[in-house]
């Protein structure tokens, strides 16, 4: 059995991007370890959701515990860096924000976990962080360096299949989903084109676990959100596959179906 480490920027990222893969690997008997860079202190919260005086980071930590149980995570490590906020916000420039952290310093912290776990797989984000969030881009930089330091043999970049989401948008009406203004959204800044993807993991059998983990992150993923409010058929179409690019692999070869190289 293998040990796979999934490195994410904030609580809830693990579920949205790689939750099905994590649940699948755990069910297959592999050891699944989650490392989060920040506590998600600057996440957006619906008015009235937090109790008076309640700290968002503390709430998100509790939510993450529940999500980890749903996904079968064996260990969670919080690196303790500070959330940088969304791209373009003044918080991006704040001292101590994760996006401004020295890459080698952060990579050394992650590499220590990789060494301790004798990790055979590390999952990070693509070079754009999926959609450009500064902390996600930094996860990519730090993760690549940490994999080098620890000598991890299999490094994967979790990404979004832009073409797949375009197809879903085109079929929205058939799923009973009403698009805002009746038009497909601009997806040009989301993920990568399909020909870059080297690994496609079918997680339909683990959608119940993924949904429970999403629901656990109630401060960030409401019941009425795009993530949860769609009909079951649309939910399966949206979240039933998770995509990766194996770092260093040439695109265009046979598509893997596992982070362990299976086809």
Predicted confidence (pLDDT) per residue in 116-164, tens digit? 999 999 999 999 999 999 999 999 999 999 999 999 999 999 999 999 9
Is residue 257 in some structural domain? Answer: no
Q: How many domains does the chain have?
A: 1
> Exposed, middle or buried, 59 (CB in 10 Å: 0-12/13-18/19+)?
buried
In this prediction, residue 103 has a pLDDT band, given cuts at 50, 70 and 90, of very high
Is residue 258 in some structural domain? Answer: no
* Domain encompassing residue 16: 3-246
Is residue 131 in some structural domain? Answer: yes
Q: Cβ contacts of residue 185 below 8 Å, gap of 6+?
A: 169, 179
- Total-model pTM: 0.95
pLDDT of residue 188: 80
User: Which residues in 33-48 are b (16+ Cβ under 10 Å) and which e?
Assistant: bbbbbbbbbbbeeeee
CATH of the domain at 229: 3.40.50.10320
Q: How far apart are CA 78 and CA 207, in angstroms?
A: 25
pLDDT over threshold 70, residue 45: yes
Q: Which residue bears the tokens 């994967």?
A: 156
Is residue 213 in some structural domain? Answer: yes
Is residue 163 in some structural domain? Answer: yes
More confident residue, 226 or 211: 211
More confident residue, 174 or 118: 118
Is residue 192 in some structural domain? Answer: yes
Q: How far apart are CA 201 and CA 263, in angstroms?
A: 10
Mean pLDDT of the chain: 93
Is residue 132 in some structural domain? Answer: yes
pLDDT over threshold 60, residue 93: yes
φ/ψ of 167, rounded to 5, equals -65, -40
Is residue 261 in some structural domain? Answer: no
């Amino acid at each position: 059995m293998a040990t796979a480490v999934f490195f994410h920027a904030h609580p809830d990222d693990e579920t949205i991007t790689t939750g099905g893969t994590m649940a699948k690997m755990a069910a297959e008997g592999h050891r699944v370890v989650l490392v989060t860079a920040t506590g998600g202190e600057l996440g957006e919260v619906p008015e009235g959701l937090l109790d008076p005086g309640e700290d968002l980071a503390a709430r998100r930590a509790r939510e993450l515990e529940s999500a980890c149980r749903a996904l079968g995570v064996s260990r969670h490590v919080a690196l303790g860096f500070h959330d940088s906020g969304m791209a373009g916000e003044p918080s991006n420039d704040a001292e101590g924000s994760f996006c401004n952290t020295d890459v080698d310093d952060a990579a050394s912290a992650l590499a220590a976990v990789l060494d301790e776990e004798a990790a055979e797989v590390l999952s990070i984000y693509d070079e754009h962080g999926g959609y450009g969030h500064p902390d996600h881009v930094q996860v990519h930089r730090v993760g690549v360096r940490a994999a080098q330091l620890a000598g991890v043999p299999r490094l994967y970049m979790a990404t979004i299949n832009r073409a797949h989401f375009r197809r879903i948008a085109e079929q929205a009406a058939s799923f009973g989903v009403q698009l805002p203004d009746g038009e497909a959204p601009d997806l040009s800044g989301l993920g990568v084109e399909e020909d870059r993807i080297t690994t496609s993991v079918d997680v339909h059998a683990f959608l119940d676990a993924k949904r429970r983990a999403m629901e656990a992150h109630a401060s960030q993923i409401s019941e009425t959100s795009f993530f949860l409010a769609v009909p079951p058929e649309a939910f399966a179409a949206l979240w039933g596959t998770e995509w990766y690019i194996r770092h260093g692999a040439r695109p265009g070869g046979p598509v893997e179906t596992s982070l362990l190289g299976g086809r």
